[in-house]
Structure 1
């Protein structure tokens, strides 16, 4: 049998864009793992934070079930896979945006807390000089009250007592500074 002759003048066009759109098995698995991690972060959110995340009812039900079976290792793993599967058909950008907003709000609160702690420690260490500069920055603070807290904290330190005045100073600063 003779093979048919091939015409060398005919060009064969391939649809390259269709090949580019197809993902490799490794890329698909990486996306699935990323979806599962995103789903796991949804599972570990608090109830009020979870309410702020826009998601479909099916995904919310899957997340709530994952919370219930958190201690069951294999069931929890399979539930995370289901969450990842459901998330493939949902708008992930909205979920990621809501999660980033929640995390940034949490970071702001943490930064404010640590800033207030540092201010309290500076006031206790530096005394009147730091009180004066703090009152310039925060005019609502009461100078006499701050000095009283510093005196009580120093006395508690000398008497080896628990730092009650230091805690009260922190609460006072937090109330005035953070509103």
Structure 2
């Protein structure tokens, strides 16, 4: 299981305790969130199952500004807030997925069978990095947030999904509902989607 955007570990603990995954690789770049994530993994005795990697994910390695959401510790983003000048940020390391797997997690791409991606508007870039790393035959749970994308990027993202994935389901009232890719054009501000490639 590769979890990108682990926050403080709410989903991490569920993944690790489910018995479905031998290993959970949890990626989180924000220092305060990392501290809480590490604490939660440790007090639940899950250090053997969970590998925490302190970085953000992108298409190229380097560093980037992580902008803080002052109201929601799960809302920090590499996307600069629109209309805000002087937003607080911190520099974070950015890795592409191939480098993350080979240098930090020591896991081949072929071993990744499930992904959870919650990245506050950077899902498109992350999915490109995931596919460039050679991850195939996996189940992807992705937060689709069109309010962050704008119309052009949303259209490009949907075309990318339709080209690279064989099926789409949306999460509705806790159930998986089959959907067509073009239905994402009318998605609300936030939609959890499940993809298979």
Q: TM-score, normalised by structure 2?
A: 0.22
Counting strand residues as a fraction of each chain, which structure ranks higher?
2
Larger radius of gyration: 1
Counting helix residues as a fraction of each chain, which structure ranks higher?
1
Q: TM-score, normalised by structure 1?
A: 0.24
